[in-house]
Amino acid sequence: MDLVIRNAHVIDGTATPSYPADLGLTDGRISAIAHPGEPRLTANRTLDAHGLAVAPGFIDMHAHSDLALLRDPDHSAKAAQGVTLEVLGQDGLSYAPVDDRTLDEVRRAITGWNGDGADIDFDWRTVGEYLDRLDRGIAVNAAYLIPQGTVRMYAVGWDDRPATPQQMDHMRQLVAEGMEDGAVGMSSGLTYTPGMYAPDSELTELCRVVARYDGYYCPHHRSYGAGALEAYEEMVRLTGDAGCALHLAHATMNFGVNKGRAPELLALLDRALAGGADITLDTYPYTPGCTTLVALLPSWASEGGPEAILARLRDDDTAERIRHHLEVVGADGCHGVPVDWATIEISGVSDPGLAGCVGKTVAGAAAQRGEAPWVTARRLLIEDGLGSTILQHVGHEENVRAIMRHPAHTGGSDGILQGHKPHPRAYGTFPHYLGRYARELGVLSLEEAVAHLTSRPAARLRLPDRGLIREGYRADLVLFDPDTVAAGATFDAPRTLPVGIPHVLIDGKFVIEDGRRTGVLAGRSVRRTRGAR
């Protein structure tokens, strides 16, 4: 064997009690599991794991590393957490499939998530070509969701109007080609333009294509605020009509209107599951959310794309209409809830000259300037070219805990790696589950927490050889100290790496060894392999 991990405390991903064993690894797979009293395994190398737990590698079901994996070979933000697989293409906006026009537009639209990509050679246009690019070597494995907003941008444009029959056929074709290329499903960002302009009938048709390939639909649905429960119900109904599996992205119940209402969401899901629906969800173990400042605007103000948005912001009369929708009506981009500028913290800017705004709330920055919060927000949107990111402090701890207990739950960081002061979930989600919510609070047992982060997401992704510690499975493994594992990242120091995770392996190769990144690029694309039915 290549490696034997001795004296391990195996947490195998099934949520059943852990057990002592030695693991043998050969050619990137788990080749033997030896229990106490069984013949001793031998190998070219031995690692003594006394005092450590060994678990399957963690799967980040909601990642925004689409360019970071190409830009940063180190990628310790995820590798150091024990993440061995990320799911990209989230929230309906990413970089394939595209043509030249669409690529330029999507780069501009999600600069706040991933940077403008000026340092990236965009030598792909299709989903398959993007996955081929990942296969040249990346820090961790990656799967991909076809972004419905990008597909609509490609086929229809930025207008708020129904697709023509020809455009609908084009979108079906783009989704089918992406699934053939290896995508695991389709995402949407239904509070982001232009994906939010798609009616349910259009989404249902695209979900039918996804279902033919046994993929899943992953919507950032139409409201996490005033209309949250109705938005969840809409997605359950839509995917039921399409016969498509559903995975609810960052399934939170945020804003004051939803405090204490997580049980209503879970009851809705339980009724659907009892009726035969195939539903899972992911969350991050924090209360604040993270998005771009421009995402808060009403959808009518975002029609036409970035340049049209900026033109409206520069026009005083139109800007006043935007303010009224944000502060009085409750813009759909802000989930139907009037914005509270004291909860909106500026976390990153594209223009370094605006860095002094980072870490301040919009209300706080406005008070320092002696002006109304909207004046500050409008100026920032214009001067930063829509590239500013924000933390939105609108969550509720009781909802976070209730949702993570549900058996359909999986872990997703929703980690945006851009910005001067990113959300700590990008660097801390997985150790925070283990340290804070399992060890300290007991919301989940350690075995349950590991199952939520490993086997359950692997089952959603239809991966036959990942997510469990079993003979023949891939040797994607994380070794951690159950007594000390914790997120180092905080809101004040969000890029601090975790503690208590000394070793991470992908395909049997150390990507983290003795707490340090090795430089090994063992990651590749993980593709859906089943053809259409």
pLDDT at 395 over 80: yes
Q: pLDDT-based confidence at 340, cuts 50/70/90?
A: very high
- E strands present in 178-234: 185-189, 216-220
Tokens of 504: 């991470």
| Residue partners of 172: CB distance under 8 A and separation at least 6 | 205, 206, 209
β-sheet bridge partners, residue 346: 390
Q: Which of 96-100, 371-375, 436-440, 527-531 has the lowest mean pLDDT?
A: 527-531
Using CA atoms, how far apart are residues 66 and 78, in angstroms rounded to an integer? 13
Task: Please state the rounded mean pLDDT for residues 55-74.
Answer: 97
DSSP, residue by residue, 392-459: E----HHHHHHHHTSTTEEE---B---SSS--THHHHHHHHIIIIIIIIT-SS-HHHHHHHHTHHHHH
Q: Report in angstroms the alpha-carbon separations of 22 from 10, 29, 506, 515.
A: 9, 14, 18, 21
Q: Report whether 54 contacts 13 (CB < 8 A).
A: no
What is the separation of C-alpha 297 from the centre of its chain, rounded to a whole number of angstroms?
22
Task: Please state the rounded mean pLDDT for residues 419-429.
Answer: 93
* pLDDT for the residue numbered 305: 87
Using CA atoms, how far apart are residues 83 and 61, in angstroms rounded to an integer? 10
Instruction: Assign 225 to helix, strand or coil.
Output: coil
pLDDT at 418 over 90: no
Please, what is the Cα angle at 67 between 64 and 70, to 5 degrees?
A: 130
Tokens of 151: 């597909």
Q: Report whether 154 contacts 104 (CB < 8 A).
A: no
Tokens of 296: 């808060």
- pLDDT tens column, 159-202: 999 999 999 999 999 999 999 999 999 999 999 999 999 999 99
- pLDDT tens column, 110-160: 998 999 999 999 999 999 999 999 999 999 999 999 999 999 999 999 999
Q: pLDDT-based confidence at 533, cuts 50/70/90?
A: low
Give the mean pLDDT of the chain: 96
* pLDDT for the residue numbered 454: 98
* pLDDT for the residue numbered 419: 81
Q: What percent of the chain has pLDDT over 90?
A: 94
Q: pLDDT-based confidence at 420, cuts 50/70/90?
A: confident
Domains in the chain, start-ordered, CATH in brackets?
58-287+395-517 (3.20.20.140), 292-392 (no CATH)
pLDDT at 530 over 80: no
